[in-house]
């Protein structure tokens, strides 16, 4: 009996090793409130397509990103914390004379090396000032959409500059940006090279300001006021786009071998007014949970358990090594990774692979999580996409000091206080000292933040991404 079993096991093992690599559809929302989708308990806005896709997989309940847009994208593209790129402060604005450093190996580059067809449909936000920084030079076979944040959804203009491109060339397709991104994603799925696995990265500009949406999406939300109504319509339009992308995957017969990932790039801004982050403290631009612990799920039929919840603490940097491992791509590279393989946590209920999670470290503030303990230093300092600070509710903005000088020190136990209401720094000085030492160690490794000239220093109008 044993002699018969051994060959069978060998055949099964060989079959598993030769299993096809997954198609990867990574959808990234912009400024989405953690509690605004139905699958996260939201009841105010209808998100049936996101709910259906999330139900078929696992909600990532403790998934972390950076406080604002560009740093989160840099973390995904490299598997490295943004303080290693000099992108830890603010965002890469249209007139910035820098971007994601060219020495960084990007996720699409690594997947392309491994035989994937790669496409970005949506917002790049990692530099445009030289051609080498544009998506087609960073590993993407196809590019469609916009380079910068806060574009007009209808005219595709930002600060007087036109920002809509196909394959890094100016494009004048007319229409609402969310609709255009859905249409292009569906086209790429249908016209893909069927001999290759597909990596489709869809970073929507929805639901980021300016709050704009066709009138038909406003009608179901007439009970809301102002920008909350527009935001609800924008989310409904994005949900519709997600449904179209999922339907295209089904129609192409790709569903059984496609990994869907969905996340927001940071917490919702103006929580309680425009977005809903649930009970989590504060929102976009802050180091508190409301700014960094976001809505997220992963779905792969037959591989990820449906209707499951992952409670392990994971970070955006973890997707880089996780996806490369699933793709059979090499993890060997010159620059060391911060991310860890999250697959056992997602599929087997394993503990977090992370010794720590670095929320951020800048010259003005920083935060780190080790186990269930979280340290925040100077937590009220923030820099959001529009340049405004978003502090914790009813707290003064900017550099709050503690007695005796220095930045405010806050210590929380997230296991018992996930909403960060009780500062335990005074009652647990040893734990505070321990986390401060770890944060200081990482701060010492950070490169200086890159600086950007002011908008007034740049001549407009222009086509963003077009070399001067």
Residues with active-site annotation:
69, 125
The CA distances from residue 332 to 85, 117, 335, 336, 390, in Å, are: 19, 21, 9, 9, 39
**Dist. CA 124–CA 126, nearest whole Å:** 6
Over its C-alpha atoms, the chain yields an Rg (Å, rounded) of: 22
Q: Bridge partners of 366?
A: 361, 377
Residue linked to tokens 């944040």: 149
* Whether the Cβ atoms of residue 209 and residue 31 lie closer than 8 Å to each other: yes
* Whether the Cβ atoms of residue 109 and residue 191 lie closer than 8 Å to each other: no
Virtual torsion, Cα 122, 125, 131, 133, nearest 10 deg? -120
- Identify the three-state secondary structure at position 407: strand
Other beta carbons within 10 angstroms of residue 468's beta carbon come to: 7
The CA distances from residue 242 to 116, 200, 262, in Å, are: 22, 12, 10
Query: Is residue 451 exposed (0-12), middle (13-18) or buried (19+ Cβ within 10 Å)?
Result: exposed
Virtual torsion, Cα 57, 61, 66, 69, nearest 10 deg? 50
């Amino acid at each position: 009996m044993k002699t018969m079993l051994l060959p069978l096991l060998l055949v099964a093992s060989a079959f598993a090793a030769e299993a096809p690599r997954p198609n990867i559809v990574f959808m990234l929302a912009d400024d989405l409130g953690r509690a605004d989708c139905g699958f996260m308990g939201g009841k105010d806005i209808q998100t049936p397509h996101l709910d259906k896709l999330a139900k078929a997989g696992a909600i990532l309940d403790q998934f972390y990103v950076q406080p604002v847009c560009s740093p989160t994208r840099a973390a995904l593209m490299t598997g490295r914390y943004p303080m290693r790129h000099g992108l830890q402060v603010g965002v890469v604005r249209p007139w910035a004379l820098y971007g994601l450093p060219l020495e960084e190996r990007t996720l699409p580059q690594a997947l392309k090396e491994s035989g994937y067809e790669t496409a970005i449909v949506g917002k790049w936000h990692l530099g445009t000032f030289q051609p080498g920084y544009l998506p087609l030079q960073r590993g993407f076979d196809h590019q469609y959409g916009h380079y910068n944040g806060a574009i007009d959804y209808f005219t595709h203009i930002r600060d007087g500059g036109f920002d809509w491109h196909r394959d890094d060339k100016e494009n004048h397709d007319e229409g609402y940006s969310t609709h255009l991104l859905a249409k292009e994603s569906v086209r790429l799925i249908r016209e893909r090279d069927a001999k290759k696995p597909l990596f489709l990265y869809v970073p929507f500009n929805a639901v980021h300001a300016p709050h704009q949406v066709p009138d038909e999406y406003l009608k179901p939300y007439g009970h809301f006021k102002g920008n909350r109504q527009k935001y609800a319509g924008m989310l409904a339009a994005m949900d519709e786009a997600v449904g179209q992308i999922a339907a295209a995957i089904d129609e192409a017969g790709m569903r059984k071998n496609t990994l869907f990932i969905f996340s927001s790039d940071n917490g919702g801004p103006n929580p309680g007014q425009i977005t809903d982050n649930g009970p989590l403290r504060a929102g976009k631009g802050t180091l508190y949970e409301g700014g960094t612990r976001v809505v997220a799920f992963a779905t792969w039929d037959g591989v990820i358990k449906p209707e499951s919840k992952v409670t392990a603490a994971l970070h955006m940097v973890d997707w880089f090594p996780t996806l490369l491992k699933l793709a059979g791509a090499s993890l060997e590279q010159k620059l060391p990774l911060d991310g860890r393989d999250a697959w056992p946590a997602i599929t087997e209920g394993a503990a977090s692979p992370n010794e720590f999670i670095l929320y951020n470290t800048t010259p003005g503030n920083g935060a780190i999580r080790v186990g269930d303990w979280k340290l925040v230093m100077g937590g009220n300092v923030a820099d959001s996409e529009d340049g405004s600070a978003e502090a914790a509710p009813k707290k003064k903005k900017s550099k709050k000091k503690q007695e005796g000088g220095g930045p405010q020190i806050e210590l929380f136990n997230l296991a018992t206080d996930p909403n960060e209401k009780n500062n335990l720094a005074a009652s647990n000085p040893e734990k505070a000292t321990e986390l401060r030492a770890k944060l200081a160690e990482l701060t010492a490794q950070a490169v200086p933040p890159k600086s950007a000239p002011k908008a007034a220093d740049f001549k407009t109008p222009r086509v963003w991404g077009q070399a001067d």
